[in-house]
Structure formats: C-alpha cells, structure tokens
Chains A and B, each alone.
Chain A
Amino acid sequence: MPAFGVQSSVMENLISIRGLTVAFDGVPALRGIDLDVQPGEAVGLVGESGCGKSVTWLAALGLLPGHAAVGGSVRLGGQELLGAPAQTLDKVRGGRVAMIFQDPASALNPVIRVGRQVEEALRLHRGLTGAAARAEARRLFEQVGIPDPAGRLNSFAHEMSGGQNQRVMIAMALAGRPDLLIADEPTTALDATIQAQILDLLRRVQQDHGMALVLISHDLGVVADLCSKVGVMYAGRMIEDGSADQIFQSPSHPYTRGLLAALPEMIGPRRRLEAIQGAVPNPADMPPGCAFAPRCTQAGSDCDAGTPNLRRVAGGHRAACLRIAA
C-alpha cells in the first residue's frame, strides 16, 4: 500500500516513515504510522491532544524517553534512523531535521544566553566558532525579525516575550541549514497577533530556504493557511490524508468532518457549532475495531470487526473508514 504523499509526485522522499509504532510501558501510543515528506513541501498533521502527532516526530528523531518502545522504520534519504548510533542521530538532529516546540519560553535554557544557544548549533553543524559564529547568529536573528539582534544575543529567555523566544527557536533551527523543520504546535502558547507573525515567518523561511516543513497543530486554520498536504490523526493512527483542498473542501472520515463542523464559519448564517460526542478512547483500552466507532454517528456493527485501513477516496485522498464508497 502506498504511503501518504507517494502518489502525488515522482520526487524522491526526504523522509519516509513506515509502520511506526510507539508504546509507553506497554501502552500503545502510535499504532502504525506511514508518512512521507518530500523536499520543500509543507505537511500539516492535525488531531486532538494525545493522538500521537508529536510522538511520531519525537520517535523519528529518537527524542523519546528510554521507557518508550519504538518499532517500524524511519528513513532519511535512505538512512535508517531508528536504532541508529548516537553520533549519526546527533548529526541528523538540528543538521538535517530541526524541531521547534510549543512553549518557546521553557524550550530555551534559562541560564544560557540565547545567542550562545544559537552559536552552539552553528558550531555543531557548521563548525563556526568565535566571531564567525557570533556574526552568523546575529544574521539569523535579523532574518527571523528580532529587533536589536546584536543586543538580543546577550539576553536570557526570561527577558524576552514568547514571540521573541519562538523567533530565537526558529533562528536556532535554521542554524544547521536543515532539510526539514518540524514545528510542534509552534503558536499554541502565543497571543493571536503573535501567532500570525510567527506563521508568516515560518512560511517565509520555508520558502527562502526551500526546506520541507511539518506543522503539527490542533488548529485547523493554521494548517489550512500554511500546508499543501494534510494528515489527520486519531488515537495513534492516520485516519485521513490528502491535499489541503481535499481535506478541507471534501472531508471523508466522520472524524475529520466532525472537526470541521466544530469550527465557526466567517461567512453565511450563524449556526450552532457541532461538538463530537464522547471522548478519545483510553490507549490502554481501545475499542475492538475502528477507534472512532464509539463516537461516530455512522458506526454500525461492522465497524467493530477490525481496524479499517486507509482506502482511496479520490486521487491522493484517502480515509480509513468503512462508510466510504469504494
């Protein structure tokens, strides 16, 4: 079965995830994820908290704690990352795949000046030290729109706003000239006006650097704005994927439709927003078949028979639901 993204292009994948599973102390968190990212493309991953969006990428980069059991395959340009030696992973992290996180204030080391934290990445991945590293860090600060870049190099994270800290994180991510930037809920902790600025900045650096971008978010609007391809996750599985247009214009999976129905519309008559009934299943006690069946208005007894696989809806658009006419 082709993975997400493979059909739409003949380009070689930058990163290829196959059958990725993660369990924490025996409780499954990811139950087999297939995902491809091609050079320079922007992919959105959406879903509720705990569905495995972040865990997918933390697992891919070997950033999960020791008690997590990871299985499957993650290949970066033909190189297997799962189980790779520490030196290999240290080169990949920050050098080929960079990551920024939800709460920039706590993601920066509180006792090290932000400039030094960026220079550390420059030293590791580009061998820059001393004045050269300082000058490059300053240039990166300018590029991500930090006012008074030379002065700000000497600041600590607590002396700057959340938006500024996220700009520092982006500068640090760009320091290694990565091929892929994973942005894990990059605007969730920020004010609405700052959110828009950070998203603009992400769009700009993605285009300027020709990097691929994976945007992890529970905010559908953010994903629709930035990404050309979207994957929807639920309870540790990919349940729908396709182009942003396909997902947002003609969602197929009842869960995706539920997510979109829960959003207010800017135009048209006012209507009552629809909530998805029930709650996400406990990972230690999953339903026998489709994980969404207990909350699904269209579920029948056949939905409990087995976990549905992704099936084709239209060119490049797939959903894991038995109700989709094949």
Chain B
Amino acid sequence: MIGFLGLRLLRAALTIVLVVSFAFIVLRLSGDPAMTIMSPEAPPEAIAAFRTAWGLDRPVWEQYFSYFGAILQGELGQSMRDGRPAMAVVLERIPATLMLTIPALIVKVGIGVPAGVFAALYRNSWIDRLVMALAVAGFTVPSFVLGLILVLIFAVSLGWLPSGGQDSWRNIILPVITMSLGGAGVLARFTRSAMLEVLGQPYIRTATAKGVPWAAVVRGHALPNAAIPTVTIVGFMVGTLIAGAVVVESVFSWPGVGRLLVVAVANRDLAIVQCILLLVAVTMVTANFIVDLLYGVLDPRLRGTASTGAH
C-alpha cells in the first residue's frame, strides 16, 4: 500500500510539473505580454522597463527555472495588471465558483445516477428510452446555447429568475441547471451501461437464486459493483470544480475563477493564468488520486494489485 501511494504521488507530482511547464511554454510563445499590457504605442523605454521588472528580458530557460523555483517556495508571482499577488487574486474568486460548481455536482449525481439505474432496470422500456433521449439531449446541447435559452425563457420571457448578478440564492438556479444537465446526461449513460453489465453477471443470478428479493439484489449486490465505473466519472467531475465553469460564468457574468481566466488570457496576465492552471492541475490530480483510493475501497480485487503498485 505504501509503494502504491508513493508511486501515485510521484505520478501526481509529475503531472503537475508537466501542466505548469506546458502552460509556461505556450504562454511565452503565444505573444509578448509587454506589448499587450503596455500597448504597442508605449515609449520603448517603458516597455523595456516593464520587461526588466517582470524578468521578461532574461533567457526563456532562466525565466522557466526561476518561475519553478518560486512556485516551490509558494511564490506564484504578481498579477501584471494590478501588481497584487496572483494567488490572492485567484483565491478570492474561488468561493463564487464553488457556489455554482458544488450544487451543480450534487445535481449531476442526484439526477444522473438514479436515472441511469432506472434506465438499466427498465431496459428497452419507455422509461429507458426517455432517459436516454434526455441524456443525449443534455450532453449534446452546448452549455452556452443552453444557458442563453434558459435566460431567454426564465429571465426574459417569464421573468421568474434573474439572468445575472449574485445577490440572492435565486441567481444560482439558472447557471447551476445550465452546468449540470450535460454532466447528468453523461452520468446517466455511464451508470446505465455499468448497471446493465453488472445485472448480466452470474453473481446476480446467484443472489436471486438464493431468495434475495429483487430490490435487495439491486441495492445490495448490483449497485456496489456498478459504483466502480461510475466513481471514475464523478471523480473527473470533482476535478473540474475549480475551473469547470468558464463558459457558464461568462454567460451569466458570474465573478468566478472561470471568468478571471478568460480575462487574464485576453490580457496576457501570465501570473494569473499560470496560477489558475496550477490550481486546476492540482485539483484534477487530487481528484484522480482520491478516485484511485476509492477503487481500493469499492473493489477488493484491486487491493491486492494496488499493494504491488502494478495496478
């Protein structure tokens, strides 16, 4: 188990290093922040001074290593826009984002998993067909389209709900619905196929043959097995809690991390973008790590292989 954990942690760290390096390279190659921030009409001395101040005049590899050294010391640089520490700028946006993404995750799981289970239990019936049709609709309609349609109907036409702002709990309803329907559809499909796979297994027939009532077969024998593939998808969704709301935050002008990212990219505010990417990488990797641990809890067959690190 220790070896397994060590290997996992090493891989997680490597993933984060790669993400941060990739972000560094792409951002440095895609345009000169001094020109974007200072504007091309600025006097050349001002631009040179900006470059010196932010270390942009040094060789790229030197910038890379000093950037990494700074990250290791917890120093993520300052926003090039207003000079505040990048981490502080990003962190103050996180509560607003979580206010949308956590309820959205609950709705995704709360609708997607039961819908998938029922679709599997009533396979080929009208329930199954209805659930699958809704699921496909849910994840094929892009969230910016769905968001605009919901705004048109519930905010503009009916006037029931606000289209933006964040002054009451009513403000989160439309963005949360917009964000969750696609995920609920994906989860419903995955849960359905996981359940169908499990319901066809010989141990389900064994449980029925020993007199376990069908509802208890589903609850006690099928669901624990079907949870294993479903947890993978939920884990992926947990990984997107921090920055999974880029589009929806833009549509509903919600002041979260997603919108900060869009603005920072447009402004070439390197420190902010890198800080957000680092956070995204860390949450994604952490979520995957937790999923790996959960596999061991849910499936005893993986505990043996886990201890050798072969999994």
Assess whether B221 is interfacial by the CB under 8 Å rule.
Answer: yes
Known: A103-B202, A110-B299. 11 other contacts (CB 8 A): A93-B208, A93-B211, A101-B205, A106-B201, A108-B203, A120-B207, A120-B220, A124-B210, A125-B211, A159-B304, A172-B210
Assess whether A111 is interfacial by the CB under 8 Å rule.
Answer: yes
Contact B210 A94 (CB under 8 A): yes
Assess whether B59 is interfacial by the CB under 8 Å rule.
Answer: no
- Taking a contact as CB atoms closer than 8 A, the residue among A61, A91, A109 that contacts B221 in the complex is A109
Assess whether A92 is interfacial by the CB under 8 Å rule.
Answer: yes
Assess whether A158 is interfacial by the CB under 8 Å rule.
Answer: yes
In the complex, what residues of A have CB within 8 A of residue B22's CB? none
Nearest Cβ on chain B to A127's Cβ, whole angstroms: 13
Assess whether A156 is interfacial by the CB under 8 Å rule.
Answer: yes
Contact A108 B211 (CB under 8 A): no
Nearest Cβ on chain B to A128's Cβ, whole angstroms: 14
Q: Give 9 nearest A-B pairs by CB, closest first.
A: A94-B211, A94-B210, A93-B211, A109-B203, A99-B209, A156-B300, A106-B202, A107-B206, A107-B202
In the complex, what residues of A have CB within 8 A of residue B304's CB? 158-159
| B7-37 near A? 1/0 per residue, CB < 8 Å | 0000000000000000000000000000000
9 pairs, CB–CB < 8 Å, chain A vs chain B: A94-B209, A94-B210, A98-B210, A109-B203, A120-B220, A124-B211, A125-B211, A169-B206, A176-B210
Assess whether A121 is interfacial by the CB under 8 Å rule.
Answer: yes
Contact A176 B203 (CB under 8 A): no
In the complex, what residues of B have CB within 8 A of residue A90's CB? 211-213
Assess whether B250 is interfacial by the CB under 8 Å rule.
Answer: no
B:215-235 near A, CB below 8 Å? 220-221, 224-225
Residue of chain A at shortest CB distance from B301? A158
A101 to B210, CA, bound (A): 12
Most buried by B among A108, A120, A172: A120
Nearest Cβ on chain A to B125's Cβ, whole angstroms: 10
Contact B225 A120 (CB under 8 A): no
Assess whether A10 is interfacial by the CB under 8 Å rule.
Answer: no
Assess whether A314 is interfacial by the CB under 8 Å rule.
Answer: no
Residue of chain A at shortest CB distance from B215? A86
Contact A110 B209 (CB under 8 A): no
A158 to B209, CA, bound (A): 21
Assess whether A95 is interfacial by the CB under 8 Å rule.
Answer: yes
Assess whether A84 is interfacial by the CB under 8 Å rule.
Answer: no
Nearest Cβ on chain A to B14's Cβ, whole angstroms: 31
A175 to B221, CA, bound (A): 18
Assess whether B214 is interfacial by the CB under 8 Å rule.
Answer: yes
Number of B interface residues in the complex (CB < 8 A): 22
Contact A92 B211 (CB under 8 A): yes
Contact A121 B210 (CB under 8 A): yes
Residue of chain A at shortest CB distance from B210? A94
Assess whether A112 is interfacial by the CB under 8 Å rule.
Answer: yes
Nearest Cβ on chain B to A54's Cβ, whole angstroms: 11
A110-B299, A112-B221 are known contacts. Are A124 and B212 too (CB-CB below 8 A)? Answer: yes
Contact A110 B300 (CB under 8 A): yes
Residue of chain B at shortest CB distance from A169? B206
Contact A120 B212 (CB under 8 A): yes
| A60-74 near B? 1/0 per residue, CB < 8 Å | 010100000000000
- Taking a contact as CB atoms closer than 8 A, the residue among B206, B207, B214, B300 that contacts A158 in the complex is B300
Assess whether B298 is interfacial by the CB under 8 Å rule.
Answer: yes
Contact A108 B206 (CB under 8 A): yes
Contact B208 A63 (CB under 8 A): yes
In the complex, what residues of B have CB within 8 A of residue A101's CB? 202, 205-206
In the complex, what residues of A have CB within 8 A of residue B220's CB? 112, 120
| A96-119 near B? 1/0 per residue, CB < 8 Å | 001101010011111110000000
A109-B221, A110-B300, A111-B224 are known contacts. Are A86 and B214 too (CB-CB below 8 A)? Answer: yes
In the complex, what residues of A have CB within 8 A of residue B202's CB? 101, 103, 106-107
In the complex, what residues of B have CB within 8 A of residue A112's CB? 220-221, 224
- Taking a contact as CB atoms closer than 8 A, the residue among A61, A86, A103 that contacts B209 in the complex is A61
